[in-house]
């Protein structure tokens, strides 16, 4: 088969927020290419809604150290505190940089970047909610994605759109390149490079109810895992409390930031019982669990597994008055702050949130775990933090770890730009003195074999059925609450589905051009891999921490489990778990109360 | 309650077919609140894995799945079946966008569209040394260009435009929307350069105010008004 060879100093895999930020920085210094399986503006960064946090203090006193404390507490003390300090200290600078790139933030009356409240973000170590989330209506991610893409065009960044990266080439224990399929032609391309940065996003499509794009199939994580790179803390996957009932479409926490409240089937504002101080603005794991518990108690709406999110002006004003706040909202204010949310509800539910409450349920949203990295986005391959030369990762696919066991809202957009920028800088520095590592013979051979295997698969099992079964079983047993027997059941099911995937798959399309049949099957393989790692890591962790809630081990156990999981793929395909310590600086783990 | 829906899809595989053709697939138990995109997934998953279409976010924000649905440009993920099929049985016709070359089935070549987009300097320009903190912009100045910031580059507007169908070198409504977003941004300094580009033969004057673009926009951008504002700015020789 004809394989095209390209040579770039730096290759970036993924065209979302972190990939584009890295590209802007790397391309100033070295020859850089961005490979994306989608057109970059289709990336899932664009679906982020509510905001990006930075302690600008534009509306009230704030400082980055409070932001760092909130992030560590939100992480249930699993985040590496040195990394969190980097994230929150650089937040202010990076948000200003985005504004200088033209990002159209909403403005305060005096023309500064406007800020709103968000879950888990507080003043003075938990005293009360603080306005820290910088926003552009409820489409902040869209604005970030487009602004970065625009700047890439301005700076003539080289893009290879609709190129699916399927393998990493390692030679002499260093990065030598990546292998990609060009979707339009089906041709294979080898990108010979000194450094590769993976910015491939998350894998929420493992679960049945998810806010994530169809394209969110964890490709980069799976590719690296198969090449021996560990995956860190995969048992921690965030369920966002408020997805549209049955569809999973995200309803931003910004709704609650603007004053919206969660109401159960009995008409009670139930979060007051679970988080007496900041109520509906508690961390996402806390709120998602509260919704599950309410539903389990029979307090869902009309006996169904959902609750209401109510942002009708009269409701918001009633609770603002009860809290002694002077602020009041009206219809026009809600329309201007949450236009897309109103639109989603009108289109998909046929209801107007200004007049009726929204039916919501927790939705699989964000992977806290991923490819382990240093704060320079260098990928580390063991519990001693040994760096793999030339390999970088940033954004949701990576695990620095700044989110630990539970991410705070708005910190994902921040993570993208802070560590995308650091990754771009670091890889440029690395590339300048480095030489190309020679490519091994037939570098694309494994991908060729894999694809041929898919193209000729003539079994009876369809991808759509395998995927649905995986999503059901992961939702039921490795979701918001877990226990050993259920997780075990999930692992058995995944093994059976992996066998179907390898031996009984049916593929209709034998062609080369835009063969989504084969691509779907390949992505399905990535999802199964990550589902298995998630379940195996979750079974081993016998405690409850952040997004990982074990019914059979309901307490956090700092003595035995204040440590990061590292999952490795053994040569026989089985998973080996190792652990490494959490970096603590100034925050002693404490009980987490909101 | 479910519905029976027949999907009538324009198919073309360049590796197999000499020319495009219509194919029909009947789905027996469709949930009325399913999206047209869900039905396309059903067809690909159950009937023919080779059906090609782009999609990603599935809720109208990424812009991947613009196509002609019952003759008008829509995002497949933003059309619920019960809004276009009444009763318990019906047909939905799906075809690729017009005016861009079809590559396979519903997948068109987007490059001419993005080439037009890139031609209008769709990026922020201000070479003055930036302040230490954010540039100041009043809420009113920010509102001035809010509408076009919603654009997701789905191409629904441009490929609904008869002027674009007639002449593919016309930059098209989407590119003008993108230019407007910067022309009217109080912080930007390249409005004149963009107005110069858009005053050329293939710029805004090819717009005949047909309003198809405004109807087609899944983000409810007032595209025709945006274009008119750019035309006015060219006539005045400045943005505001």
pLDDT digits (tens, 9 = 90+) for A306-349: 999 999 999 999 999 999 999 999 999 999 999 999 999 999 99
Among A290-299, A400-409, B151-160, B231-240, name the one with the lowest average pLDDT: B231-240
Residue with tokens 């369920």: A239
**All CATH 1.20.58.100 domain ranges in chain A, comma separated:** 445-559
Contact B80 A514 (CB under 8 A): no
Encode pLDDT of B13-23 as tens digits. 999 999 999 99
How far apart (Å, rounded) are the C-alpha atoms in residues A543 and A558? 9
Which 3 state secondary structure label does DSSP give B136? coil
Question: Cβ contact (<8 Å) for A515 and B61?
Answer: no
- Chain-centre distance for alpha carbon B83: 20
Q: Is there a single domain that holds both residue B152 and residue B34?
A: no
Residues of A identified as active-site: 284
Which residues of chain A does B114 touch, with a Cβ-Cβ cutoff of 8 Å? 39
What pLDDT digit, counting tens, does each position of A446-461 carry? 999 999 999 999 999 9
Task: Tell me which chain A residues have a C-beta less than 8 angstroms from the C-beta of B121.
Answer: 154
Closest CA in chain B for residue A162: B54
Residue range A203-217: average pLDDT?
98
Q: What digits encode the pLDDT tens for the residues A131-155?
A: 999 999 999 999 999 999 999 999 9
Cα end-to-end distance, chain B, whole Å: 55
| Residue closest to A344 by CA, chosen among A64, A137, A188, A519 | A137
Of B52, B85, B107, the position where a domain reaches its end is B107
CATH number of the structural domain spanning residue B29: 3.10.20.30
User: Are B174 and B186 within one domain?
Assistant: yes
* A457-499 residue pLDDT tens: 999 999 999 999 999 999 999 999 999 999 999 999 999 999 9
Cα(B195)–Cα(B179) distance, rounded to whole angstroms? 8
**pLDDT recorded at residue B239:** 82
Place of tokens 């059941």: A489
Structure tokens at A325: 């706040």
Quote the CA–CA distance of B148 and A173 in Å, as a whole number. 48
A vs B: CB pairs below 8 A: 167
- CB contacts of A146 in chain B (<8 Å) are 149
User: Using an 8 Å Cβ cutoff, are A397 and A14 in contact?
Assistant: yes
Which DSSP string do the residues of A366-419 spell out, in sequence order? Answer: EES-BEEB-TT-EEE-STT--EEEEEEE-STTEE-SSSTTSPPTTHHHHHHHHH
Looking at the structure, tell me whether residues B101 and B36 fall in a common domain: yes
Are B114 and B203 within one domain?
Answer: yes
Q: Which two tokens stand for residue A319?
A: 């609770």
Window B:137-166, CB contacts with A under 8 Å: 137-139, 141-142, 145-146, 149-150, 152-153
Please tell me which of the candidates B52, B57, B139 has its beta carbon nearest to residue A516: B52
What is the Rg, in whole angstroms, of the alpha carbon atoms belonging to chain A?
23
Mean pLDDT over residues A239-258, rounded? 95
Number of helices and strands (H, E) in chain A?
A: 17, 22
Please report how many Cα atoms fall inside a 13 Å half-sphere around the Cα of residue A474, on the Cβ side: 33
Which residue, chain included where needed, has tokens 């625009």?
Answer: A150
* A1: pLDDT strictly greater than 80: no
**In B, residues 173-192, which contact A (CB 8 Å cutoff)?**
181-182, 185, 187-188
Q: How far apart are the first and last CA of chain A?
A: 59
Q: Minimal Cα distance from B143: which residue of A?
A: A106
Question: How far is the alpha carbon of B80 from chain A, nearest alpha carbon, in Å?
Answer: 7
Domain residues for B69? 3-107
Q: Does B128 touch chain A (CB under 8 A)?
A: no
Residue B104 Cα distances to A187, B14, B19, B39, B72, angstroms: 16, 6, 11, 18, 20
Q: Do A516 and B53 touch (CB under 8 A)?
A: yes
B21-30, strands of its sheet edge to edge: B21-30, B3-11, B89-95, B66-69, B72-75
Q: Cβ B57–A38 below 8 Å, yes or no?
A: no
Residue with tokens 């694309």: A444
- Which of B11, B49, B75, B107 is the mutation pick for testing A, counting most A CBs within 10 A? B49
pLDDT at residue B237 in the model: 86
Asked if B87 and B148 sit in the same domain, the reply is no
Token digits for A111?
């023309």
Cβ contact, residue pair A112, B110, below 8 Å: no
Strand partners, B195: none
**Whole-angstrom distance, CA of residue B190 vs CA of residue B124:** 8
Running DSSP on this structure, what letter comes out for residue A346? Answer: I
| Non-local CB neighbours of A306 within 8 Å, separated by 6+ positions | A245, A295, A300, A359, A360, A361
Q: What pLDDT score does A2 carry? A: 85
> Looking at the 3D structure of chain B, how many domains does it have?
2
With CB atoms and an 8 Å threshold, state whether A153 touches B46. no
Among A105, A111, A344, select the one facing B59 at the smallest CB separation. Answer: A344
Distance from CA of A123 to the nearest CA of B (A): 22
Q: Of B62, B77, B107, which residue constitutes the final position of a domain?
A: B107
Has residue B185 got a pLDDT over 80?
A: yes
**Closest to A470 measured CA to CA, from A437, A436, A496:** A496
Q: Which residues of B touch A112 (CB under 8 A)?
A: 133-134, 136
**Residue whose C-alpha is closest to residue A169's, from A159, A179, A183:** A179
Interchain contact, B52 vs A514, CB within 8 Å: yes
Element (H, E) at A53: strand A52-53
Strand order in the sheet with A128-134: A52-53, A128-134, A115-123
Q: Does B126 touch chain A (CB under 8 A)?
A: yes
Which residue in A43, A100, A150 is closest to B122 by CB distance?
A: A150
Best of A56, A108, A111, A243 to substitute, by most chain B Cβ atoms within 10 angstroms, is A111
Name which of A99, A147, A513 is nearest B135 (Cβ-Cβ): A99
**Ranges of H-type helices in A323-358:** 331-337, 339-344
Q: In angstroms, rounded to a whole number, what is the distance separating the alpha carbons of residues A386 and A458?
A: 43
The CATH code of domain A445-559 reads: 1.20.58.100
Q: Do B44 and A517 make contact, defined as CB atoms within 8 angstroms?
A: yes
pLDDT for res A466: 97
Query: What does the alpha-carbon distance between residue B24 and residue B6 come to, in Å, rounded to a whole number?
Result: 6
Spatial distance between the Cα atoms of A40 and A24, rounded to a whole number of angstroms? 14
Q: Could A347 and B80 be called an inter-chain contact, meaning their C-beta atoms sit closer than 8 Å?
A: yes
pLDDT of residue A270: 98
CA distance B240 to chain A (A): 19
- In angstroms, the CA B170 to CA A154 distance is 22
**Residue in A with minimal Cα distance to B119:** A153
Average the pLDDT over A205-218 and give the result: 98
Both B137 and B175 in one domain: the answer is yes
**Same domain for B96 and B135:** no
Closest CB to A514: pick one of B48, B103, B135. B103
Say if residue A401 is preceded by a cis peptide, omega within 30 of 0: yes
CA B61/CA A249 separation, integer angstroms: 11
pLDDT at B240: 75
CB A307 within 8 A of CB A263: yes
Are B93 and B115 contained in the same domain?
no
Helix axis angle for A219-226 and A516-540, nearest 10°, is: 70
Do B165 and B114 reside in the same domain of the chain? yes
Mutate to test the interface with B, among A97, A250, A513 (most CBs of B within 10 A): A513
* E runs forming strands in A368-518: 371-372, 378-380, 387-393, 398-399, 481-482
Q: What's the CATH fold of domain A251-361?
A: Flavocytochrome C3; Chain A, domain 1 (3.90.700)
Query: Are B42 and B76 within one domain?
Result: yes
Question: For tokens 């690909």, what's the residue?
Answer: B44
**With a cut of 0.95, is the ipTM above it?**
yes
pLDDT score for B206? 97
User: Nearest C-alpha of chain B: how many angstroms from A215?
Assistant: 5
Contact indicator for A537, A234 with CB cutoff of 8 Å: yes
In 3D space, the residue among A292, A304, A199, A302 whose CA is nearest the CA of residue A245 turns out to be A304
DSSP run (H or E) holding A74: helix A64-74
- Judging by DSSP bridges, how do beta strands A237-244 and A358-367 pair with one another? antiparallel
Domain-terminating residue out of B47, B76, B107: B107
The answer on B132 and B208 residing in a single domain is yes
Identify the CA nearest to B203 among candidates B111, B80, B84, B121. Answer: B121
Q: Where do runs of H (alpha helix) occur along A127-227?
A: 140-154, 219-226
Helix axis angle, B172-183 to B111-118, nearest 10°: 30
Running DSSP on this structure, what letter comes out for residue A62? -
| CATH (domain of B117) | 1.10.1060.10
d(CA A425, CA A197): 11
Q: Please say whether the beta carbons of A491 and A536 come within 8 A.
A: yes
Average pLDDT over residues A373-378: 98
pLDDT for A574: 96
Kindly list the residues from chain B whose CB atom is less than 8 angstroms away from the CB atom of residue A513. Answer: 13-15, 52, 103-104
pLDDT digits (tens, 9 = 90+) for A164-201: 999 999 999 999 999 999 999 999 999 999 999 999 99
Q: Residue B206 carries which DSSP code?
A: G
Using CA atoms, how far apart are residues A414 and A409, in angstroms rounded to an integer?
10
- pLDDT, one tens digit per residue, over A504-554 is 999 999 999 999 999 999 999 999 999 999 999 999 999 999 999 999 999
H or E stretch at A464: helix A463-477
Do B164 and B206 share a domain, yes or no? yes
């Amino acid at each position: 088969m004809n394989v095209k060879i390209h040579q770039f100093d730096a290759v970036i895999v993924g065209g979302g927020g972190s990939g584009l930020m890295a590209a802007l920085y790397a391309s100033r210094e070295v020859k850089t290419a961005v490979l994306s399986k989608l057109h970059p503006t289709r990336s899932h960064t664009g679906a982020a809604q509510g905001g990006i946090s930075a302690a600008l203090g534009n509306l009230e006193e704030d400082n980055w150290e409070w932001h760092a404390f909130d992030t560590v507490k939100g992480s249930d003390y699993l985040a590496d505190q040195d990394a969190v300090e980097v994230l929150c200290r650089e937040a202010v600078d990076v948000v200003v940089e985005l504004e200088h790139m033209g990002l159209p933030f909403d403005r305060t009356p005096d023309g500064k970047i406007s800020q709103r409240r968000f879950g888990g973000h507080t003043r003075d170590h938990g005293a009360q909610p603080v306005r820290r989330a910088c926003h552009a209506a409820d489409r902040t991610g869209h604005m970030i994605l487009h602004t970065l893409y625009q700047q890439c065009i301005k700076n003539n960044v080289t893009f290879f759109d609709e190129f699916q990266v399927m393998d990493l080439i390692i030679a002499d224990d260093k990065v030598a390149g990546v292998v990609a399929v060009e979707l339009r032609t089906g041709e294979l391309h080898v990108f010979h490079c000194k450094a590769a940065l993976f910015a491939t996003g998350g894998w929420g499509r493992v679960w049945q109810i998810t806010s994530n794009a169809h394209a969110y199939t964890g490709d980069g994580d799976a590719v690296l895992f198969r090449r021996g790179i560990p995956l860190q803390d995969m048992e921690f996957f965030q369920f966002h409390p408020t997805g549209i009932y049955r569809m999973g479409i995200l309803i931003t926490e910004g709704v609650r930031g603007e004053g919206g409240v969660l109401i159960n089937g009995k008409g009670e504002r139930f979060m007051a019982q679970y988080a007496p101080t900041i109520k509906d603005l508690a961390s996402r794991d806390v709120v998602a669990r509260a919704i599950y518990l309410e539903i389990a108690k029979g307090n869902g709406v009309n006996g169904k597994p959902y609750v209401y999110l109510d942002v009708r002006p009269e409701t918001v004003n009633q609770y603002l008055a009860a809290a002694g706040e002077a602020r009041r909202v009206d219809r026009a204010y809600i329309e201007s702050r949450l236009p897309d949310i109103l639109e989603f509800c009108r289109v998909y539910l046929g209801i107007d949130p200004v007049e009726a409450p929204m039916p919501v349920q927790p939705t699989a949203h964000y992977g806290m775990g991923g490819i382990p990295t240093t704060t320079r986005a260098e990928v580390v391959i063991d519990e001693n933090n040994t760096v793999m030369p030339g390999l970088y990762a940033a954004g949701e696919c990576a695990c620095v770890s700044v989110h630990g066991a539970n991410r705070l809202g708005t910190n994902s957009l921040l993570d993208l730009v802070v560590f995308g920028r650091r990754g771009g800088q670091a890889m440029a520095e690395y590339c300048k003195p480095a030489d190309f590592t020679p490519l091994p013979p037939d570098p694309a051979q494994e991908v060729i074999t894999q694809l041929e295997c898919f193209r000729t698969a003539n079994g009876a099992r369809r991808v759509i059925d395998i995927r649905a079964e995986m999503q059901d079983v992961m939702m039921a047993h490795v979701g918001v609450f877990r226990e050993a027997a259920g997780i075990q059941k999930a692992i058995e099911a995944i093994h059976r589905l992996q066998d179907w995937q390898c031996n009984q798959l049916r593929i209709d399309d034998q062609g080369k051009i835009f063969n989504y049949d084969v691509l779907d099957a390949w992505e399905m393989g990535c999802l199964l891999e990550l589902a298995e790692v998630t379940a195996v890591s979750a079974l081993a962790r016998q405690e409850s921490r952040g997004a990982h809630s074990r019914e059979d081990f309901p307490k956090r156990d700092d003595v035995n489990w204040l440590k990061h999981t590292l999952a490795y793929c053994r040569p026989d395909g089985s998973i080996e778990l190792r652990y490494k310590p959490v970096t603590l600086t100034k925050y002693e783990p404490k009980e987490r109360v909101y | 309650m479910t519905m029976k829906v027949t999907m009538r899809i324009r198919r073309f595989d360049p590796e197999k077919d000499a020319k495009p053709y219509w194919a029909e697939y009947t789905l027996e138990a469709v949930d009325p609140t399913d999206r047209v995109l869900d039905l396309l997934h059903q067809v690909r998953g159950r009937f023919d894995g080779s059906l090609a279409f782009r999609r990603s976010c599935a809720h109208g924000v990424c812009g991947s799945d613009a196509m002609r649905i019952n003759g008008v440009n829509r995002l497949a993920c933003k059309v619920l079946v019960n809004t276009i099929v009444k009763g318990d049985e019906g047909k939905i016709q799906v075809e690729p966008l017009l005016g861009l070359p079809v590559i396979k089935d519903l997948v068109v070549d987007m490059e001419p569209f993005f080439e037009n987009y890139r031609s209008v300097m769709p990026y922020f320009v201000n070479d003055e040394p930036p302040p230490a903190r954010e540039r100041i912009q009043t809420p009113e100045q920010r509102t001035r260009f809010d509408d076009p910031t919603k654009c997701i580059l789905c191409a629904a507007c441009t490929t609904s435009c008869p002027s674009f169908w007639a002449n593919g070198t016309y930059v098209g409504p989407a590119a003008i929307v993108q230019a407007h977003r910067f022309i009217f941004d109080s912080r930007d300094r390249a409005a004149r350069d963009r107005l110069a580009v858009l005053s050329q033969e293939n710029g805004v004057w090819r717009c005949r105010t047909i309003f198809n673009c405004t109807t087609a926009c899944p983000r409810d951008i007032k595209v025709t008004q945006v274009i008119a504002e750019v035309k006015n700015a060219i006539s005045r020789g400045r943005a505001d």
